[in-house]
Structure 1
Amino acid sequence: MDYVIIGGVAAGMSAAMEIIRTDSSANVIVLERGEDYSYGQCGLPYVIGGIVPHIDDVIVRSVDTFRDKYNIHAHIYTEVTKIDIDKQLVIGVHTDTNKTFHIKYDRLLIATGADAIIPNWEGMDLKGIHSLKTLQDAEQIISDLTEDIHQVSIVGGGYIGLEMAESFRMLGKNVRLIQRGEQLAPIFDPDMAALIHEEAQKHGVEVILGESVEGFSGDTHVDTIITDKGSYQTDLVLLAIGVKPNTNFLNYTGIHINNKGAIQVNAYMETSIPNVYAAGDCATHYHIIKQLDDHIPLGTTANKQGRIAGANMAGNPKAFKGIVGTSIVKFFDLTLGRTGITEKEAKQLKLSYEIQVREADHNASYYPGGERLHIKLLFHKESKQLLGGQVIGKAGVDKRIDVLATALYNQMTIYQLLDLDLSYAPPYNGVWDPIQQIARKVK
């Protein structure tokens, strides 16, 4: 059986490893358009900031490891340009030699991930304008961060924008965040995002809201950002305005793609075409709370979907159970966590909901060193089913978010949180966890 995988990072290599575990006679061919395999993209801001000492530290397994240890035919610089569904052929080009290739498959996995969104703004050809998605992107940013770079401007206030704002400040740079919307971190509700704005101000990050970037100017190197409301001097620009699934090469294949550009898959990672699977950032992700297919590209989901795709391709049926939209990020002294849906999403879904908000210490109130947790829970007005949670604080956020994520996965009610047997000792918690304290208030 010839298994061909397009993409050699999270979903692709999770699938490859699952295939060789399941099918001892498998012939696994992986086509990666870049030069690196199986690395942690989420670690790149910490490499740039110097917390992770070397960029090689985020590489989980090298391409040689996959070739020599696991007998996987791992190719680099192989960009797929077309799939012939009728002949079951993958067609592309070796970008280092410009030679074309045709590879036959019995089963195919598309795990091409998502690319950074790069707008067609004026001045995009100037030096000093970066995005951050690959190891090479990180290396270019590090190379450009000379002593002459004083003012850094980040376009986009999502997770990458926030993480990189912290990294640049750690390097002693002046940082400006420009966000088109009216708040940073739009995956949080505005009342919770206010805490993020305060943290940015506390650490000297200039935040500009409600302005849209229109272009850049400079001689050969960027020196000015132009928005719809003004212009700003800068020495370096990072574009962090989101990602889009890398699926353009699938046009005219008949593979169903949704309005976000993500490949539509079922629970078994199957596409609309026989013998073709998809997983990771290029595919849809079933959202348990929304009860619909969503697109929330995260490394955790990509690895899970890749493993499930590999198992199904190799004849061991497994179903992907879905996501609840859990994520967490460090922003200076704060940890920002969320899971489930926000008020904005609840309104879009026309759900009848209630909210409860609470501040509490992350440990027993009498134990020294307690840090305040800001907690917001959403639940269905009639059924009381938990719908979502947002937690921001300096300590104990990850514990509460993971408890809430587990509760959401199991579609528990707000009342059932009271029955959870959660760990307790004064350095870590009170006898009633803060999320249980909220549940006790609900009538």
Structure 2
Amino acid sequence: MNQVKKLVIIGGVAGGASAAARARRLNDHADIVVFERGPYVSFANCGLPYHLGGEIAERESLLLHTPESLTARFGLDVRVNSEVLSINRAAKTVRVHNRQTAETYEESYDALILAPGAAPIRPPLPGLDNPRVFTLRTVPDLDRLMQAMTSEVKHVTVVGAGFIGLETVEALRHRGLAVSLIERAPQVLTPLDAEMAAPLAQTLTQHGVELLLGESLAAVHAGEQLSLQLASGRSLQTDLVVLAIGVKPETGLAQAAGLTIGRSGGIVVNTQQQTSDPAIYAVGDAVEVQHTIHQQAVLLPLAGPANRQGRIAADAIFGHGKAYRGSQGTAICKVFNQTAASTGLNERSLAAAGIAYRKLYLHGNDHASYYPGASMISLKVLFEPATGRLLGAQAVGEKGVDKRIDVLAVALQAGLTVDDLAEMELSYAPPYGAAKDPVNLLGMAAQNLQHGLLQLIEPEALAAQLASGTAPQLIDVREPEEIATGQIAGARNLPLSQLRELSRTLDRQRPVVVYCMVGLRGYIAQRHLQQQGFQVQSLNGGYKTWQALQLSQQYQSQS
């Protein structure tokens, strides 16, 4: 494809705009035409909720490039408000409709890149065509929603507790509005496992959000206020509705042109983003990608992968062939004072793919505890039992979550193991970390687990034993003053500082489970008792993970 003289790109934003810029840097002589059906060719759609909430004060800050700036910098022919209606693969032309002039014309190409993105899902429910029901995907979407935020609006309902839904909820609360959040799943933010997401649900309720988990919207009825009918039979009165229930790939052009569409619903591409037509490439939210863990085709509508795919497509077209490595779904979300992030697969996905795994929780400070302002990060790592290779990781906390999940994302992409986490040399100074970073501690604890030094019982397994009446001797090794924060029912308090003396009161014929707040003292107690001949396990993640599990079950029972 290095003889390409004319490149046509359908769609801008992340994938299309990055492909156009890369193509120009590689070839200063080719004609590069970018069609965008909307009025904005390059904007920060991930920033839309933050302008809604006021954190990004100026709307223009969201407009990364204009047609004029792209023309001036890169010599691109950018045509906004221009919708491509069809592709003629045999003639290598596209049919274009200019939405402003109503003109329709043909444009030729040597190579074509599809970057149509994805559209918000609007299920076929009664009343969703009401003008007070919105989505938040584009700048015009944002403008319409902002215009509707009159002084009469007091309550808004958001449907969907994914990334956009949660960010929109926070933005609306920043504006002082009452907010209800409807989510069909029994938890928020489903890329996380339920016990990791439970603190986020708690944060939402603490910030005044009415959280309706296990609920789904059935119909919208017009009136002075909108009346929302829920699948449970409950009704809810609201002024506006924002749909954030996900997106679906825009594949209409590709399907009509006869390009191969995968089982996931996305356009099938090879590792150079080439479709089933050698002259046509596709990038961004409209394509399916290979997940780096289970190697299955999935849809992962994320800006980072879209940018990389655009670059790779341009490289392939102009003779600098590289291969896309696949996607692992690394993502992060701010929920008021909390941050949640994940990479790789969660437990549900691993189980569905039939992949064996081990899991480990760790709760550590974002920086040295003796330096002021330290706060806790909860981490969860999933890895192969035989090799220790990383399969997924999740993190929730107030600070430092982004740093840890990025380290774990790099480790996962590189195929590293928990042993490698233990040996990582990470930056340390008291304001930023600790001599043993939480990532190092994860690796060290996982090494102990792999080598049989750490014997764990999962919170779910302990809960089942307690419910069945087959509970082991349950020992809380925290100090007495710590018990005021809560304790597992039936536990005895044998503080670690006195355990060597008090262990003689334990029944050597019965199994023992020990726990502390986050797991470290529980491990020390387990090692001591194990070497004294006891059959003993430590509670994975300690009392903090137990609390998160109980909280998640509480939300599920309410749904």
Q: TM-score range by the shorter chain?
A: over 0.9
Amino acid at match of 2:56: V
Measured after TM superposition, the shift of residue 250 of structure 1 is 2.2
1:35-66 deviations in whole A, cap 9, x for unaligned? 10111100000011011011110111111112
Aligned with 1:91: secondary structure? strand
Q: Relative to 1, partners in 2 of residues 1:102 and 1:298: Cα closer, same or farther, differing over 3 Å? A: same
2:303 corresponds to which of 295, 299, 302: 299
Corresponding residue for residue 310 of structure 1:
314
Corresponding residue for residue 404 of structure 1:
408
Q: What are the within-5 Å matches in structure 2 for residues 218-237 of structure 1?
A: 218-219=222-223, 223-229=226-232, 230-237=234-241
Corresponding residue for residue 24 of structure 2:
20
Measured after TM superposition, the shift of residue 102 of structure 1 is 1.1
CA contact (8 A) 1:127 1:222 kept: no
1:207 corresponds to which of 208, 211, 236: 211
Aligned with 2:74: secondary structure? coil
Corresponding residue for residue 518 of structure 2:
none
Corresponding residue for residue 183 of structure 1:
187
Measured after TM superposition, the shift of residue 8 of structure 1 is 1.7
Measure the CA separation in 2 of the matches of 1:69 and 1:414. Answer: 46
1:354-388 deviations in whole A, cap 9, x for unaligned? 00011111111222211011111000111111111
Measured after TM superposition, the shift of residue 187 of structure 1 is 1.0
CA contact (8 A) 1:157 1:241 kept: yes
Say which is worse superposed, 248-257 or 306-315, in terms of deviation.
Answer: 248-257
Aligned with 1:60: secondary structure? strand
1:228-268 deviations in whole A, cap 9, x for unaligned? 12110000100000001111122242311113321111111
In structure 2, runs of 5+ residues without a counterpart are 451-559
Measured after TM superposition, the shift of residue 293 of structure 1 is 2.9
Q: What are the within-5 Å matches in structure 2 for residues 112-131 of structure 1?
A: 112-131=116-135
CA contact (8 A) 1:270 1:276 kept: yes
Corresponding residue for residue 246 of structure 1:
250
1:199-250 deviations in whole A, cap 9, x for unaligned? 111101110011121110114x651111112110000100000001111122
Corresponding residue for residue 3 of structure 1:
7
Measured after TM superposition, the shift of residue 92 of structure 1 is 3.0
Aligned with 2:17: secondary structure? helix
Measure the CA separation in 1 of the matches of 2:147 and 2:330. Answer: 33
Corresponding residue for residue 29 of structure 1:
33
Structure 1 segments, 4+ long, off by >6 Å, are none
Aligned with 1:251: secondary structure? helix
Q: What are the within-5 Å matches in structure 2 for residues 294-443 of structure 1?
A: 294-442=298-446, 443=450
Measure the CA separation in 2 of the matches of 1:65 and 1:157. Answer: 36
Corresponding residue for residue 87 of structure 2:
83
Corresponding residue for residue 46 of structure 1:
50
CA contact (8 A) 2:358 2:382 kept: yes
Measure the CA separation in 2 of the matches of 1:413 and 1:9. Answer: 36
In structure 1, runs of 5+ residues without a counterpart are none
Aligned with 1:266: secondary structure? coil
CA contact (8 A) 2:254 2:267 kept: no
Q: Relative to 1, partners in 2 of residues 1:252 and 1:58: Cα closer, same or farther, differing over 3 Å? A: closer
Higher RCO (C-alpha 8 Å, min separation 6): 1
- The structure in which a higher percent of residues are helix is 2
Corresponding residue for residue 463 of structure 2:
none
Aligned with 1:432: secondary structure? coil
Corresponding residue for residue 216 of structure 1:
220
Measure the CA separation in 2 of the matches of 1:52 and 1:249. Answer: 35
Flag the structure with larger Rg: 2
Say which is worse superposed, 45-54 or 281-290, in terms of deviation.
Answer: 281-290
Measured after TM superposition, the shift of residue 190 of structure 1 is 0.5
Q: Given the two structures, how large is their TM-score scaled by the length of structure 1?
A: 0.97
1:43-99 deviations in whole A, cap 9, x for unaligned? 000011011011110111111112233221111111112111111111132222332
Measure the CA separation in 2 of the matches of 1:428 and 1:23. Answer: 43
Q: Given the two structures, how large is their TM-score scaled by the length of structure 2?
A: 0.77
Q: What are the within-5 Å matches in structure 2 for residues 126-205 of structure 1?
A: 126-205=130-209
